[in-house]
Structure formats: C-alpha cells, structure tokens
Amino acid sequence: MHQLIYDPWPWYVAGPLIGLIVPALLLLGNKHFGISANLRHACAACFPAGIPFFQYNWKKEVWNMFFVAGILVGAVIVGHLFPAQGPITVAPALASELAGYGITDHSTLLPQELFSWHSLLTLRGVIMLVGGGFLVGFGARYAGGCTSGHAIMGLSDLQWPSLVATVMFMAGGFIMSNLILPLILHL
C-alpha cells in the first residue's frame, strides 16, 4: 500500500479512471466536469446581487464545488499522511536546463526560486505569478472552460469548440514553455 501512494500510477490505470468520470457524471445526473467554473459559482454565492454575470442559480452546481473541495482536502490529507521522501526526482536533462535559468532547488514540487514571497517581489515573479495567473484565469473564462473541462469532458462529448480549445491550449503551452518562458526566466 505504501508504494501505491508514492509511485506514480501508470497511464493505463490513471487514464481510464479519469475517462470513467465522464460517463459516470453524465449517467448520474447529466453533469459536466470542469474546475474553472467553480470560481464563477463561488463569486455568485458570495456576491448574489450587483453583477449580472453572477446572477444565476449557482446552487444547482454546488456538487462541483464539493468535488473541488474534495480534491483540496484529499491533497492535504495525503500530504500529511505520506510526506515526500527526499527531493523531487527531475530528469538530468531538465535539471541541467533549469540550472541554466537559476533553478536548482528540487526539494519541493514548486521551486523556491520561482514560488516564494522573495521571488514575487521581483520583475520575473510579477510577470510569472501575477501576469500568468491573470492570463490563465482570463483564458479559461474566455475559452468557456479550462483544460479539464474541454479536454476531458468536451472532447468526450465530441464538441467542436472543445477540440479547438484543446488544440489552442496545447499550442499555447508549447509556445510558452519553449519560446517565452526561457526569456522570462533570464530576467
């Protein structure tokens, strides 16, 4: 059981489990999977009047908020019950490339050179954390959903807009990680 928690699950186990979420949600109540819509539900719950975009019956989507809360609570429980054993394993070629950008701390999933209060107060930190967070949030809202909603649920429903969104998410990720991110990391 111990190794089941620490070792990554193979794609042929994790993939079908994720894939089974789609028919289960559709069969159990015609529900659609997605994470980014929960921000809208939370805003609608907190600000019931004033902004027309948030004036809808968010209570019928409360199940999705419990789903996201379960993800967060599950992560905290597993993180406390099974703390990481040693530094994160990074492929040698990637570690060499990251060292060229000044990222050498592999003790946690989020390198301290990028994700810390000290880093946030630098130009690189503001661009990556604040600017990147805004662009991801804006992009998910503009695309009508996030990668999980479009790539998992939308493609399963054979929705053309989800195919376009997924292709654009992937293209944007490749461009960002191979062209733009190296420029930002050299700031």
Q: What are the tens digits of pLDDT across the range 76-100?
A: 888 888 777 767 788 899 889 888 8
- Please say whether the beta carbons of 174 and 152 come within 8 A: no
Domain shared by 9 and 75, yes or no: yes
Q: Is 64 in the same domain as 133?
A: no
Q: Is the pLDDT at 24 greater than 80, yes or no?
A: yes
Look at the chain and report how many structural domains it folds into: 2
Say if 90 falls within a structural domain.
no
Q: For the chain, give the mean pLDDT.
A: 84
- Whether the pLDDT of residue 132 is over 80: the answer is yes
The torsion of the CA quartet 165, 38, 181, 10, rounded to 10 degrees, works out to -80
Which tens digit of pLDDT belongs to each residue from 27-80?
Answer: 888 887 778 888 888 888 888 777 887 788 888 888 888 888 998 998 888 888
Both 13 and 76 in a single domain?
yes
Give residue 69's domain range.
1-83
- pLDDT in the model for residue 124: 84
The DSSP code for 8 is P
Q: Which residue has the higher pLDDT, 26 or 5?
A: 26
Closest C-alpha to 34, from 157, 175, 168: 157
In a domain, 156, yes or no: yes
The CB density around residue 165, as the number of other CB atoms within 10 Å, is: 24
Residue 163 has what pLDDT? 93
Higher-pLDDT residue of 72 and 3 is 72
Q: Which amino acid is at 95?
A: A
Same domain for 2 and 76, yes or no, is yes
